[in-house]
Amino acid sequence: MRQVLAPARKGPKGGLVFAIRNPIQLAIEMDRINIVGVWLAAGLYWFTLGIAWSPSNKIYQQGLILLLWLPALLAVWPLRHRLVILWKHAGCLLVTLGALLVWAAVSASWSESPEALREAKRVGYVVFFLCSLMFFCSQPPLRSVRWLQFSGFGLALAAVVAMVIQYLVGQQPLNMRAVVIGSLGHPIIGGYVVGLAMICWFCLPPRSVKFKFIWVIGLIAMLLLIALTQSRGVWVALASTSVSLALLKGGRHTWIAVTILGLVSVVGSWLFLPYILERGSSYRPEIFMMSLEMISERPWLGLGLGSDYTVKADAIQLSFDHSHNLFTHTGIELGLVGLLLWVAVWTQSFIAAWRLRQSSLGVVLFGMLVFSSVALMFDGASLWGSPRPEWFLTWLPVGFALGLLVQSKRYPEEEKRCSRVDEPAG
């Protein structure tokens, strides 16, 4: 935008005066930025809500191209100054992330996948997604708060609809594992996405009593659906995040909420204990040991981006199509180089969350990262696939961290004041 302003000169009273070289160009650029901002907002709402409410996964993917990838591409030039801010204040994270993306794309050259170029193209999707998140979340904090609030409400409503369809309309017994609607139609991954939404929803309580009632009902609905999924990994992730947030934030209300969650967890475990014990450890220890052995076979380069592999646990005479752990999966696919780069990106995102811990959005980021870290050690299956529920646990926290780092420099006073939020605007 500086290109349309003439150099400053002193005014009659000693003040600086900026002359507009081309007012039409300035107006066009301002309109473009506003339009792109609204466009990106629509895309991110589609990302978080369309995953449950879209009629089909194909429509969901097409919507992302139109509402997220395209505006991200158009925003790069008019919003380039935000990239400069990010480079100045988070250059290490940016370099590490760039190295990971380049390494993943290059690894397609030795990949065993028959469609290596298509796999490399998906790295571009990740770039567009991260840019979209960074551009949107670097706006005034209240916009990110509203996005997370309404997204949480939409996913809480999806949880209610899913339970009504399955248990009331479908009359399935309660021992049947719950699944969410839309592309979240798997009890494990659906439970993780709802769990992450619950963490964000919990960290952004409204002030109004009217909206706080809706907030509490939404938390209960999401918690009930998570219990009905019978996914132990989600409960471990929720418990770990709750304790971490209590230690981070402190305060009587936080500890009361953690205690209530603990009691609900105990009751839920007792009610579903026979079904939980029936599945045992789901062979996770055996899968983990075999995954380490596979990494040792090709330690540095890995199999390459998009390579299919099978984890064979000879002791139990079973095989699995992924390692059920994102960190070992990354080591198998991208080697130790890719694994170390991913761990570095994840660690620096944690550092960003710690630096921003005094704000509500910083606490949300911290909760996202703790929850996702635990979840990815149990059920992580993909880092580079096309946009899917796993992205809520991987690229969403990273992109959110990038956006908040820029936001904290552009709006330092607003970021400090946004320690508590009002009810959603009607």
Looking at residue 418, its pLDDT comes to: 56
188-226: pLDDT as tens digits: 999 999 999 999 999 999 888 888 999 999 999 999 999
Looking at residue 273, its pLDDT comes to: 58
Percent of the chain with pLDDT over 70: 81
**1-10, 194-203, 239-248, 374-383: which range is least confident on average?**
1-10
Band of residue 243 on the pLDDT scale cut at 50, 70, 90: confident
| pLDDT over threshold 90, residue 163 | yes
Looking at residue 4, its pLDDT comes to: 44
Does 351 fall in a domain?
A: yes
| pLDDT over threshold 60, residue 20 | no
Does 283 fall in a domain?
A: yes
Q: Where are the beta strands (DSSP E) in 248-400?
A: 311-313, 318-320
Question: Are residues 291 and 309 in contact, defined by beta-carbon separation less than 8 angstroms?
Answer: no
Q: Which residue shows structure tokens 């992580």?
A: 380
pLDDT mean over 347-364: 95
Higher pLDDT, 316 or 127: 127
> Which of 50-54, 207-211, 287-291 has maximum average pLDDT?
50-54
Cα distance between residue 369 and residue 308, in whole Å: 28
Cα distance between residue 274 and residue 175, in whole Å: 10
Does 167 fall in a domain?
A: yes
Helix (H, G, I), strand (E, B) or coil at 218: helix
Q: What sign does the dihedral 145-146-147-150 (CA atoms) show? A: positive
Indicate the average pLDDT of the chain. Answer: 84
pLDDT mean over 227-252: 86
For the residues of 142-196, what is the DSSP string, one character each?
Answer: HHHHHHHHHHHHHHHHHHHHHHIIIIIIS---TTSPP--SGGG-SHHHHHHHHHH
Cα distance between residue 396 and residue 130, in whole Å: 8
pLDDT mean over 125-132: 95
Helix (H, G, I), strand (E, B) or coil at 320: strand
Looking at residue 266, its pLDDT comes to: 65
pLDDT mean over 133-159: 95
Percent of the chain with pLDDT over 90: 56
Higher pLDDT, 2 or 267: 267
**130-139, 225-234, 330-339: which range is least confident on average?**
225-234
Higher pLDDT, 192 or 313: 192
User: Model's pTM, two decimal places?
Assistant: 0.87
Looking at residue 208, its pLDDT comes to: 84
Question: Are residues 6 and 18 in contact, defined by beta-carbon separation less than 8 angstroms?
Answer: yes
Cα distance between residue 401 and residue 100, in whole Å: 16
Element (H, E) at 265: helix 252-271
Does 2 fall in a domain?
A: no
Between the alpha carbon of residue 71 and those of residues 77, 132, 135, 380, 386, the distances in Å are 11, 8, 10, 29, 18
For residues 81-116, one letter each, b for 16 or more C-beta atoms within 10 angstroms of the residue's C-beta and e for the rest, the string is ebbebbeebbeebbebbebbbebbbebbeebebeeb
Does 128 fall in a domain?
A: yes
Which one, of 231, 203, 153, lies nearest residue 424 by Cα? 153
94-122: pLDDT as tens digits: 999 999 999 999 999 998 877 878 888 88
| pLDDT over threshold 80, residue 232 | yes
Does 29 fall in a domain?
A: no
Between the alpha carbon of residue 227 and those of residues 160, 231, 235, 346, the distances in Å are 13, 7, 8, 28
257-278: pLDDT as tens digits: 777 766 766 666 666 556 555 5
Q: Which residue(s) pair with 311 in the sheet?
A: 320
Higher pLDDT, 115 or 28: 115
Band of residue 423 on the pLDDT scale cut at 50, 70, 90: very low
Looking at residue 32, its pLDDT comes to: 56
**7-11, 40-44, 422-426: which range is least confident on average?**
422-426
Looking at residue 220, its pLDDT comes to: 92
Supply the range of the domain harboring residue 185: 80-417
Looking at residue 357, its pLDDT comes to: 92
pLDDT mean over 372-382: 87
CA dihedral 327→330→331→332, nearest 10 degrees, is 120
Does 275 fall in a domain?
A: yes
pLDDT mean over 343-364: 96
Cα distance between residue 398 and residue 97, in whole Å: 9
Looking at residue 275, its pLDDT comes to: 56
Cα distance between residue 251 and residue 314, in whole Å: 50
Does 313 fall in a domain?
A: yes
> Which of 13-27, 71-85, 357-371 has maximum average pLDDT?
357-371
Q: Which residue shows structure tokens 């089909």?
A: 56
| pLDDT over threshold 80, residue 289 | yes
Looking at residue 412, its pLDDT comes to: 80
Looking at residue 319, its pLDDT comes to: 72
Structural domains in the chain (count) = 1
Helix (H, G, I), strand (E, B) or coil at 342: helix
